[in-house]
Amino acid sequence: MVFIKEWCRQIICLFRHNHDTLSKCTIMFVMLVGILDYSYVKSNCDLLWWKKQLTDLKVGPMFALLYIVTFKVSLILFMTFWSYTKKIDREQEKNDMPISEVKRRYRRFIMMRLLKAFNDLVEERHLLNLTHSGNVKKRFLKKHSKFIKEVELFRWNARKLYERTDDHLSLPLHQVLTVDDELEYQLLQSGYGDRLTMLRDVEIHQMVYGYQ
């Protein structure tokens, strides 16, 4: 049972870390199924008909190369258009987002990023206790230095919630409290957001300014 759970966890992690490739393969599969279905409905061209066409067709190297290049260019154009429309939708969604939601998302993001750095440091410390290897020690020191920088970055970013400059006041709030969409998605997929469902503004304030 434990082996099955571990296997399922590895499969889920594989999907999470390769979602881009998975989406492209899915699009290619959907396009292929769409072409086959349309040809069958309109012209009664089933799989046996397609097999006959492929066996009768004499494909030369240049002809095959032309087909591959055409398909690749079509896929690139489709993915570019899809990415562009998604970017526009995300920007519009940010513009329509309430101020309270912008702040909540920003608080969660900077806290998830800090937790990720802390977890990486703890894992390296655990390995160091087990192995006492020189390479592991170097990695631990590197992670420790990175964690210190992450703490400084967290405090600097968190102050934006409470200290606004004149330049900030002239901008929409979501452009001041910026969130890296891709990094946020990766952190959420790793489960860091589940730990912060009850995160409050006062807790971030206390982490930056202490108890007052």
Contacting residues for 3 by C-beta, under 8 A, at least 6 apart? none
**How many C-beta neighbours within 10 Å does residue 102 have?**
18
The residue that leads in pLDDT, 156 or 15, is 156
* 180's tokens: 């890296």
Mean pLDDT over 99-113 rounds to 90
pLDDT value at 46 more than 80 = no
What pLDDT, on the 0 to 100 scale, is given for residue 63?
60
In terms of domains, do 129 and 190 share one? yes
Query: Is residue 105 located within the same domain as residue 199?
Result: yes
Instruction: For residue 161, give the 3-state DSSP assignment.
Output: helix
Question: Could you tell me if 38 and 66 lie in one domain?
Answer: no
Q: What is the DSSP string of 13-26?
A: HHHHHTHHHHHHHH
Domain boundary among 68, 96, 124: 96
Question: Percentage helix, strand, coil, to 5, in the chain?
Answer: 85, 0, 15
Task: Please state, in angstroms and rounded to a whole number, the distance separating the CA atoms of residues 206 and 209.
Answer: 5
- Give the mean model confidence (pLDDT) for residues 184-211: 85
pLDDT mean over 139-147: 85
Task: Tell me: do 124 and 160 sit in the same domain.
Answer: yes
Among 173, 177, 175, which Cα is nearest to 160's?
A: 177
Residue 98 has pLDDT above 60, yes or no: yes
Query: 162 and 141, same structural domain?
Result: yes
The Cα 104–Cα 115 span in angstroms is 16
- % the chain with pLDDT above 70: 73
Q: Give the pLDDT of residue 154.
A: 92
Domain tally for the chain? Answer: 3
Q: What one-character DSSP code corresponds to residue 195? A: G
Residue 140 binned pLDDT confidence (cut-offs 50, 70, 90): confident
- pLDDT tens-digit readout, 57-81: 665 665 666 667 777 777 777 777 7
Does one domain contain both 51 and 127? no
Q: 148 and 66, same structural domain?
A: no
Instruction: Give the HSE-up count for residue 159: Cα atoms under 13 Å, Cβ half-sphere.
Output: 8
Closest CA to 140 of 164, 116, 123, 159: 123
Q: Higher confidence at residue 95 or residue 173?
A: 173
Please tell me whether residues 64 and 88 are part of one structural domain: yes
Residues 102 and 177 sit within 8 Å (Cβ to Cβ): yes
Nearest to 200 by CA among 110, 101, 97, 104: 104
In a shared domain, residues 47 and 91: no
Residues 15, 90 within the same domain = no
Together in a domain, 188 and 108: yes
What's the whole-number average pLDDT of the chain? 77
Q: To 5 degrees, how large is the angle CA 20–CA 23–CA 25?
A: 110
* Distance separating alpha carbons of residues 51 and 46, to the nearest angstrom: 9
Which of these three, 74, 96, 118, is where a domain ends?
96
Q: Are residues 80 and 126 in the same domain?
A: no
Q: Which structural domain, as residue segments, surrounds residue 53?
A: 1-57
179: left (phi over 0), alpha (psi -120 to 50) or beta: beta
Identity of the highest mean pLDDT range in 23-37, 51-65, 128-142, 148-162: 148-162
Mean pLDDT across 174-180: 83
**pTM, two decimal places:** 0.57
- pLDDT over 90, % of the chain: 8
